[in-house]
A and B are shown apart, each in its own frame.
Chain A
Amino acid sequence: MGTYNFNWHVVQDNLPQLMHGLVITLQISAVGMFLAILFGLFLATMRLSQYKAMSSISYGVTQVSRSIPLFVLLFWVYYGLSLKFGIKFSEFQAGAVALGITGGAYMAEILRGGIMAVDPGQQEAALAIGLTRFKASQLVVLPQAIKIVIPQAVNVYVGLLKGATIVSVIGVADMIYVAQYVSLQTFRPFELYSFAGIVFISLTLSIAGFAWLLEKKLSHGRVNG
């Protein structure tokens, strides 16, 4: 046994700040996920376009966005855009956009798979009753694709949630930032980061559980009806 004595009081004493950080983490990952879904839907639609050029551009953007480390992306969005183009984001906005771009690239591939997994006859039937292509996607194809996509989308969200811990480097006061800040004053990083770890584990598990329930609830006829 080592000689390190845990002192969990430091967590207890700073709980309000840590919880406030957690709220920021949840907010930024939620906004990031929202952007990721929009960006992913946009890329997936382009990817499935009948125009080769559109499809290729989407493929390129997806691959590049996916390969940029989140850390680098954060710096580009926060410092790069403002230095080079004068586009100024707040720390929170920059963090959410960076998460949206990374997550969007993953969502694009997942959504594309989901849309392609829906029987083409569904779209045909929707068009045949006179729906526009847009309405057919919105009312018939996407609702079915979403069911297929939910488990993987949850994985992306869990990834973003963990990715959201990196946003502290540009000064977003998320839970890791608070933990770091407090540990600099108290010299108790181990307790603080462990606490953050436990919070994340329980978050991830409850999200997975929620997704499981959602999937069950939505499971009407996944195969061709």
Chain B
Amino acid sequence: MTIPTLDTDISLVDKGRVLLELRNVNKSFGSHKVLRDINLSIHKGEVVCIIGPSGSGKSTLLRCINFIAPPDSGEVVFEDRSWKTFHAKFNIFANKRYENTLPNLRSDIGMVFQHFNVFPHMTAIENVMLGMTKVRKIDKKVAREDARKRLEQVGLGDKIDQYPEKLSGGQKQRVAIARALALNPKVMLFDEVTSSLDPELVSGILDEMRRLAKAGMTMIVVTHEMNFAFQVANRIAFMDEGKIIEIGTPEEIKNSTEVRTKAFLSSILA
């Protein structure tokens, strides 16, 4: 088993400060239990990669963090504020009030998806500006200027007025990354962001993520890219059947004695 050398910069991790914490998070779809009692703390500046077989609940875990898929039970603590699922069966107005507090959490958490989910009816720059003007209430002119810079940073300076249909998969994903970063999030969630890209476009997106990690962004990355995970992550979590089986530094995971972790790694790195 060959695993590339580490180039993780430990100095960026603020060990003293837990930014995000999941406590006893459970989630089921119908009778299928997808997450079982998940506990996880993320420090400021830390990059945590989540690996594991398909269907192990990695994506659902990520989506529970910003309540895109609200947990059934348990809590998400973000910057010392606790978020729990609130769901009154009959009081629709109470549910609405609760629902309307969630944007406070979500706007500080950037998310990038496997299928990009860029808005097809808006140009690249409009995609990036939407959250700035409608969530952060930034003036349109200022937002436009900032959005242009964001797109230049991800190498799309000449595509700002293009509609997504004219962009390649890699370019769409860059727009999606710029859109998430435009809100100055405190943590970024990446949900298998290279899985639906053509192979030659994967490394470009991974480079963007490396750059972000180097800049000190707190990141939670669900990925099948083992090289990336072992090079960039401060910690790697291995999930199987809705549980975090094991979490540790790349070194620890690499030398794991846990049967399932070993089996998964050897099947992937064989």
Chain A interfacial positions (CB closer than 8 Å to B): 51, 119, 121-122, 124-133, 135, 139-140, 143-144, 147, 218, 220-225
Contacts of A133 in B (CB 8 A): 99
Q: A224 touching B115 by the CB < 8 A rule?
A: yes
Give the CA-CA distance A51 to B87 in the complex, in Å: 11
Spot the interface stretch: B26-34, B73-81, B127-135: B127-135
Contacts of B165 in A (CB 8 A): 220-221, 225
A–B complex contacts, Cβ < 8 Å, 17 sampled: A121-B115, A122-B117, A125-B119, A125-B176, A128-B110, A128-B180, A129-B180, A130-B106, A132-B103, A133-B99, A144-B120, A220-B121, A220-B163, A223-B120, A225-B119, A225-B164, A225-B165
B22 at the interface (CB under 8 A from A): no
Give the CA-CA distance A140 to B133 in the complex, in Å: 14
Pair count A-B, CB < 8 A: 90
Q: In B98-136, which residues have CB < 8 Å from any A CB?
A: 99-100, 102-104, 106-111, 113, 115-121, 130-131, 134-135
For B62-103 the 0/1 string (1 means CB < 8 A from A) is 010010100000000000000000000000100000011011
Give the CA-CA distance A220 to B127 in the complex, in Å: 14
Q: A225 touching B172 by the CB < 8 A rule?
A: yes
Nearest-neighbour CB distance to chain A for B53, whole angstroms, equals 23
Contacts of A127 in B (CB 8 A): 68, 102-103, 106
Contacts of B135 in A (CB 8 A): 129-131
Give the CA-CA distance A223 to B115 in the complex, in Å: 12
Give the CA-CA distance A225 to B117 in the complex, in Å: 6
B183 at the interface (CB under 8 A from A): yes
Q: A128 touching B120 by the CB < 8 A rule?
A: no
Contacts of A129 in B (CB 8 A): 106-107, 130-131, 135, 179-180, 183
Contacts of B102 in A (CB 8 A): 127
Q: B119 touching A140 by the CB < 8 A rule?
A: yes
